[in-house]
Structure 1
Amino acid sequence: MRHRRLVASIMSASLLIVLPGCAMIDAPTGSISRQEAIGTDDWHDVATEADRQRIRGWWTAWRDALASARAGGHGAAVAAEGALLAPDAALPNPHLPPGDYLCRTIKVGAQSAQGLSYVAYPRFRCRVEAEQDIFSFTKLTGSQRQVGLIFDDDDRQKIFLGTLMLGDEVRALDYGSDPQRDVAGLIERIGPNRWRLVMPRPAFESIVDVIELVPAGE
């Protein structure tokens, strides 16, 4: 399948980034070949079949995640987040401008009866970069860090495809090489200078992961 030709590493395009209080790490700006990604205007050509299914089933994942969180006693916390956790909150023009962002992850719904149905984390650092008409997203800090590329979809959402870096790893896996590390999501604008990355059915823990993004310094 064509996606297998699109998983070449772009580690040669990595940036050396110094994080406050941390050692210098090799932080990749994506895990899909930029050159080949530029050659397609359809994210379906890049995504694995599993990730195409995740994107197709985003609404069902949202429904199941919210039901799990509310059943776990977190209805007030869900309501307090307003548009961030409202499935239909997407606004026109989802373009995510290049720059540094503060990003906050909320895990909604539990995959197992023993899991936590709602977990909200403090803000971390993220970055969006543009190169050769391709935009990348990198979560720079935290124990779980998504890294990958952003593709056009429609006037209310873009598609994110990438991989998950864990712990002290400094290089991302190639997209498509490990299904448990592949990440697929929808990028939506939910307010002035406010976006979210919605990742349905992640491999670990939750039913939906949501990353809120606001420009750093706001």
Structure 2
Amino acid sequence: MFIVEETIPGTEAAQIPKQRGASLLDSAVRYAEERHWDVFPGTWLEVVDGTHRCSCGDAACPAPGAHPAGPDWADRATGSATVARRMWQERPSASVLLPTGRTFDAVSVPETAGFLALARMRRMELPLGPVTLTPDRRMEFFVLPGAAAKVPHLVRKLGWTPSSLDLRVLGEGAYVAAPPTRFGSRGAVQWACRPTPANRWLPDAEELTPPLAYACGRDR
């Protein structure tokens, strides 16, 4: 059974939120070992004058502690549990990031639309893969690779223009932050649908796009 801690207890403002090293390390290793997902370490949180800051040094960082630490991140991503363990042993506070466009793509929608679509999918008994819920109030539905090329056409077939919906596809060259990564003081990434043996085989974007597009249209 694949289990990853979903939430991280809060801390006082003068401390870095508890991205426990063992939890981040164990999570990264499990993603590589049990799901065969590539992983790579991102930035981390530091305390500067009592404020949580991203290790990148940008005081206005939009995703503090949860983005790639360098331009070579795609080359550093690994599917080896051994290499992943070594990476997080060297930087135990690093965020856990997963490149998209390899073993999965991700369809990202606003949280409200995501929960509406999730309820509809369950009623329709559609196959679901893992789904994350991020602190910036978005949900990311993991689907088979190739979604980035398919979804715009599927949205048009449903009568929408892609630019009219807040529905984004993360494919080759992009990434998602995985639990228990934190976004500054905003909280941790959580699983809305956690990885289990039952959802090892991911759905195709063609199956999930209609309820996601419908929900995004309702959410406008």
**Common fold: TM-score over 0.5:** no
Higher percent of residues as strand: 1
Give TM-score scaled by structure 1 length. 0.27
Give TM-score scaled by structure 2 length. 0.27
For the pair shown, the structure with the greater C-alpha radius of gyration is 2
RCO greater where, 1 or 2, for CA within 8 Å and sep 6 or more? 2
Higher percent of residues as helix: 2
